[in-house]
């Protein structure tokens, strides 16, 4: 069952508690540390994007269309709809002979307040380019173009692209295809329902690509490389915890958030993957829960990094009125069975 994960104090008094579960796993699938139920099943949401980004690379689409490293990072992103992101998506579409009209991710205002306000001030409306998943969708469309698959209905579960994606996720996670639940994500593509330790295993294998089947190794190395080299392309130039986390651990941690309180990361130096779920889906609990886990695993941010496990709570004037902090101790396993 979910355990207390993050506590919020105001005036030194406890006000709120977020509960959750977490699993830290090595590349062999052994659970290294846990909180609550490490086998809790939940939807992977956008934390699956680095694994979904394998297909554009191994299909040859990234090489065929001359996709730059910065652009490839956006394929892994839940981007903030800033100009650097929309420009990258438009560039990739053009290189593959595609256009915005080929996207089927939907439309929402940019996550970046600055970018959203700029649209409003200009009397303009957002387009599919601003959708946080437009990079992932562009990667999918490029793969279809390269493989000779129809781009029509590329987001449907019975399309060859989505079937191939499910095959990859099953192979790397070690979960049989018929045991992976499917739903529809916010951007209309299939979303995968599987245990936290299976999600963590995928990140552990990316952290140690030699543990992957040979056909995936080069792509996994590239994905980790572009995510850590261009963290602002994976999230945003301001306001993205995922971006700030990768900056604070400079190449030592690659990470991806998902909706509804899911967060995954890999630690290459340790060959370790971590997946956690905040039970109530609150993203405000990410910082304390994620950095709290990393601290307890012995992974520290750079000396001058601004992020830490204790996060200030401020009022509307910017005054500090409380804080959020980890409420847990990870349970470390002496030795567990591999998946």
Q: What is the pLDDT of residues 190-207, one digit of tens each?
A: 999 999 999 999 999 999
The answer to whether residues 153 and 162 touch, using CB atoms and an 8 Å cutoff, is: no
**Is 233 part of any domain?**
yes
What is the span of the domain harbouring residue 195?
3-332
**Is 338 part of any domain?**
no
Q: Which of 156, 230, 193 is nearest to 47 (CA)?
A: 193
CATH for 195: 3.40.710
Counting Cα atoms < 13 Å in the Cβ hemisphere of 35 gives 27
Q: What is the pLDDT of residues 206-251, one digit of tens each?
A: 999 999 999 999 999 999 999 999 999 999 999 999 999 999 999 9
Q: How far apart are CA 166 and CA 326, in angstroms?
A: 35
- pLDDT above 80 for 339: no
Confidence of residue 90 (pLDDT cuts 50, 70, 90): very high
Mean pLDDT of the chain: 96
CA of residue 73 relative to chain centroid, distance = 11
- pLDDT above 60 for 336: no
**Is 295 part of any domain?**
yes
**Is 117 part of any domain?**
yes
- pLDDT above 90 for 271: yes
| pLDDT at residue number 40 | 98
- pLDDT above 60 for 337: no
Beta strands in 108-173 (DSSP E): none
Q: Give the total residue count for the chain.
A: 339
Number of domains in the chain: 1
**Is 123 part of any domain?**
yes
**Is 163 part of any domain?**
yes
CA distances from residue 239 to 115, 116, 202 in whole angstroms, order as listed: 12, 13, 27
**Is 339 part of any domain?**
no
- 286: helix, coil or strand? helix
Q: What is the pLDDT of residues 107-136, one digit of tens each?
A: 999 999 999 999 999 999 999 999 999 999
Residues 6+ away with beta carbon under 8 Å from 183: 43, 190, 191, 193
Confidence of residue 335 (pLDDT cuts 50, 70, 90): low
- pLDDT above 90 for 305: no
**Is 195 part of any domain?**
yes
């Amino acid at each position: 069952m979910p355990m207390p994960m993050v506590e919020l104090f105001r005036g030194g008094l406890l006000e709120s508690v977020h509960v959750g579960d977490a699993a830290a796993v090595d590349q062999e699938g052994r659970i290294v540390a846990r909180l609550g139920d490490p086998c809790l099943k939940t939807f992977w949401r956008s934390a699956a994007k680095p694994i979904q980004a394998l297909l554009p690379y191994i299909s040859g689409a990234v090489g065929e269309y001359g996709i730059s490293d910065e652009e490839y990072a956006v394929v892994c992103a839940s981007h903030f709809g800033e100009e650097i992101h929309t420009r990258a998506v438009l560039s990739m579409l053009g290189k593959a002979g595609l256009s915005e009209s080929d996207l089927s991710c939907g439309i929402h205002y940019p996550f970046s307040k600055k970018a959203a306000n700029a649209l409003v001030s200009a009397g303009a409306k957002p387009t599919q380019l601003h959708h946080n998943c437009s990079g992932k969708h562009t990667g999918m469309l490029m793969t279809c173009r390269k493989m000779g698959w129809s781009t029509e209905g590329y987001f449907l579960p019975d399309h060859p692209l989505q079937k191939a994606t499910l095959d990859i996720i099953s192979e790397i996670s070690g979960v049989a295809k018929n045991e992976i639940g499917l739903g529809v994500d916010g951007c209309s593509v299939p979303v995968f329902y599987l245990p936290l330790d299976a999600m963590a295993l995928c990140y552990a294998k990316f952290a140690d690509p030699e543990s992957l089947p040979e056909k995936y190794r080069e792509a996994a190395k590239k994905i980790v490389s572009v995510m850590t080299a261009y963290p602002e392309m994976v999230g945003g130039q301001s306001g993205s915890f995922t971006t700030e986390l990768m900056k604070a651990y400079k190449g030592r941690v690659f990470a991806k958030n998902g909706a509804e309180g899911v967060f995954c990361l890999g630690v290459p130096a340790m060959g370790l993957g971590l997946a956690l779920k905040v039970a109530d889906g609150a993203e405000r609990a990410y910082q304390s829960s994620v950095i709290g886990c990393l601290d307890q695993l012995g992974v520290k941010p750079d000396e001058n990094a601004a992020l830490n496990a204790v996060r200030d709570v401020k009022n509307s004037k910017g005054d500090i009125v409380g804080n959020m902090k980890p409420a847990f101790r990870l349970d470390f396993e002496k030795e567990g069975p591999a998946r």
